[in-house]
């Protein structure tokens, strides 16, 4: 799932495997990178248009800044979120997982 501030998309795991197992998709539908902001971990980026739009309305969460003291007195500042709500399109969700909604 990819949660944005205004929409939520999902890609079934099986479809992810199909996309990345076809080398002709690389550079078009997906790309792989390792960068410093993610501690050089391998990250696969898939075009959001390959996903299924599951929510088009989201109530924005409350947010605030916090910090944590690390070793040797270093401070790490970050933002936390509380609350918020996504309005799931149940029919699309059930279709994505292969079930019929009653």
86: left (phi > 0), else alpha (psi -120 to 50), else beta? beta
Distance of CA 99 to the CA centre of its chain: 23
Domain ranges across the chain: 2-96
Give the tens place of pLDDT for each residue, 10-66. 999 999 999 999 999 999 999 999 999 889 999 999 999 999 999 999 998 999 999
Give the tens place of pLDDT for each residue, 85-98. 999 999 999 999 98
Residues found in the chain: 102
């Amino acid at each position: 799932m990819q949660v944005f501030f205004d929409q939520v998309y999902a890609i079934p795991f099986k479809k992810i495997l199909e996309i990345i197992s076809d080398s002709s998709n690389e550079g078009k539908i997906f790309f792989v990178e390792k960068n410093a902001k993610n501690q050089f971990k391998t990250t696969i980026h898939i075009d959001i248009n390959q996903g299924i739009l599951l929510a088009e309305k989201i109530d924005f969460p409350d947010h605030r800044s916090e910090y944590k003291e690390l070793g040797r007195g270093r401070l790490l500042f970050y933002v936390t979120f509380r609350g918020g709500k996504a309005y799931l399109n149940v029919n699309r969700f059930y279709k994505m997982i292969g079930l019929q909604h009653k």
